[in-house]
Structure 1
Amino acid sequence: MTKSNLRKALNYTGSIIALLSVLFVAHRIHVYWAQIPDDTFTLKLLALLMLLAAIYGAANALLASAWRILMKSLGQAISGRTATRIYGLTQLAKYVPGNIFQFAGRQLLAMSYGFSGKAIAKSAFLELLLLVLTGAGFTLWMSPLLYPAFSAVYGLSIFIIMAALIAWGLKWRGHAGLIMVIARYFLFLFISGTVFLCVLYSIADSWTLTLVQVLPLIGAYVIAWLAGLVTPGSPAGVGIREFLLILMLKPFFTEIDIVVAVILSRMTTVVGDCVFYLYSLSLR
């Protein structure tokens, strides 16, 4: 099998998995919709969702800033304003089936500004690689959900030690710029997980949020997000993220609360992406 055929096969497989996941989530929504209390969607909740969407939209600037640092490390001097405009105008393409069109759009738009096509392609590869590696670190945060004996304190301690060693290694190797990139990716993922946590907290009844629960729940969201990112053919991880969150959190929350929370969090991130797009569109 040639590389081209393999890529197509992986893309089709990912699309099928995403479609099945969407159907699963849609089925759960259909089953539980009648059970959702009428007073769930209050003005207070809508105001909270709009605030979270604005926060998530602003967090996208971290991704654009990280891409600018990657481009500069590849010899492409690009201003923050230009980087934000290019990144923001092409980011919505991640919702197109295929999960690659945001990179293709960025490649074409950045080349129209006169930047090296080879450097842009390298920056996209580095972005994916570093996002995956950064997101994988949140496995330590999520571990208490799967192994209760592994406490959140242990996970956080190991995470901090690993982060410090990686930062020291990169600085020693002369790649201090990558530390800033990874820090921005970490902050973006942390904000994304916190947005989901806030939505879940506002939906779940009779749940008192404790500090011990915060990190594992954020970690669970990031791991679900990561699975959607690396699944070929899944636009913005649609279906994959929701499916995994339902599976991971089902032992701890009622399924109806999880279903409503994952759908509302998806709506929040979509609106946030649109807010960032409109902001990028306003930059000249």
Structure 2
Amino acid sequence: LVADIRIDGRGGICLAIALTVTIIAHLWSAVVWFSILKEFNQPVRLRWAVPVYLKTNIAKYLPGNVWHFYGRISAAIKTGISVEIASLSVLLEPLLMVAAALTVALICYPQPTWVWQLLGLGVVLIGVHPKFLNPAIAFASKLKFKEKTSQERVFILEEYPWKIFLAEIIFVVIRGTGFLLTLNSVSSVGIEGINLLFSAFCLAWVLGLIVPGSPGGVGVFEATAIALLKNDVAPGILLTAVAFYRLVSILAESLAAGIACLNKNAVAE
């Protein structure tokens, strides 16, 4: 039962490390957004991009789940970046996040179904090709922005985004590590169960990211994680872990945003 679960000193240390790791994940994600802008030869500095990303990130919990995108687009436009490139940067990022998370989920899936796993990986890698990714970006633009803007945007990705894709895989692995540490604070996680937990986390995280009307994935991530792991993790431990992980995530984002707001050296280029 949840009421019977207690967090001891070891658990507290695991939660503290999970919080630190999750903050690092968001910092890394900010660097990835900066890298996307640099890929399109935009004159921005890291000390500008990271604070902007972290400060706007907390806005994803507002109804609509698009305000963090608008915040970044607005900040980018103020620096002289075109609305097309600014929009492309914030739409390309989550699409590559989804592809990265699916890649990790397929690689970590513990069942010996290599044929299907390789097929799935092939589909994901092909989907990241500009021929398929550009239409996906255009669709995401219509889905996210709808009638909030009347300006037509043209998105063109000319090269396969290998570097950004690999950077997003690193981001997903860091986030998954935070989840494992959170679960480990409640109950010891055996090495043999890491692949299953990573795979389930990635799938739950993807659904939390893409399901419309779920600010920050709240509720969707938790429900999916519970559904995927209910036969492998005790109910009380699982409920406690996903609740703690949500708290860790929100606290990490809030702390990162607060630190960014205190950064007086964040200047626009």
> TM-score normalized by structure 1?
0.74
Alignment pair present for 1:186 and 2:169:
yes
Report the equivalent of 1:87.
Answer: 53
Against the structure 1 CA distance between its residues 179 and 88, is the aligned structure 2 distance closer, same or farther, given a 3 Å change threshold?
same
| % identical equivalent positions | 26
Shift of 1:208: 5.6
CA contact (8 A) 1:142 1:219 kept: yes
Amino acid at match of 1:188: F
Aligned positions of 1:109-128 closer than 5 A: 109-128=75-94
> TM-score normalized by structure 2?
0.78
Q: Within 2, Cα distance between the matches of 1:281 and 1:236?
A: 20
Match of 1:234 among 174, 189, 214: 214
Report the equivalent of 1:249.
Answer: 229
Shift of 1:80: 1.0
CA contact (8 A) 1:66 1:180 kept: no
CA contact (8 A) 1:141 1:218 kept: no
In structure 1, stretches of 5+ residues that fail to align are 1-31
Q: Which has the higher helix share?
A: 1
Q: Within 1, Cα distance between the matches of 2:168 and 2:227?
A: 25
Aligned positions of 1:86-165 closer than 5 A: 86-141=52-107, 143-144=109-110, 148-150=111-113, 154=114, 158=118
Report the equivalent of 2:20.
Answer: 54
CA contact (8 A) 2:104 2:169 kept: no
Structure 1 runs of 4+ aligned residues shifted over 4 Å read: none
Aligned positions of 1:160-179 closer than 5 A: 175=159, 178-179=161-162
CA contact (8 A) 2:57 2:257 kept: yes
User: CA offsets per residue over residues 131-157 of structure 1, 9 Å max, x none?
Assistant: 12222223314543xxx443xxx49x8
User: CA offsets per residue over residues 213-248 of structure 1, 9 Å max, x none?
Assistant: 212211210110100100111011000000011111
Q: Within 2, Cα distance between the matches of 1:42 and 1:202?
A: 8
Amino acid at match of 2:221: R
**Equivalent pairs, count:** 238
Q: Within 2, Cα distance between the matches of 1:208 and 1:50?
A: 17
Shift of 1:198: 1.7
Shift of 1:162: 5.2
Match of 1:222 among 183, 198, 202: 202
Report the equivalent of 2:245.
Answer: 265
Shift of 1:69: 1.9
Against the structure 1 CA distance between its residues 186 and 208, is the aligned structure 2 distance closer, same or farther, given a 3 Å change threshold?
closer
Shift of 1:126: 1.1
Of 45-54 and 97-106, more deviation after overlay is shown by 45-54
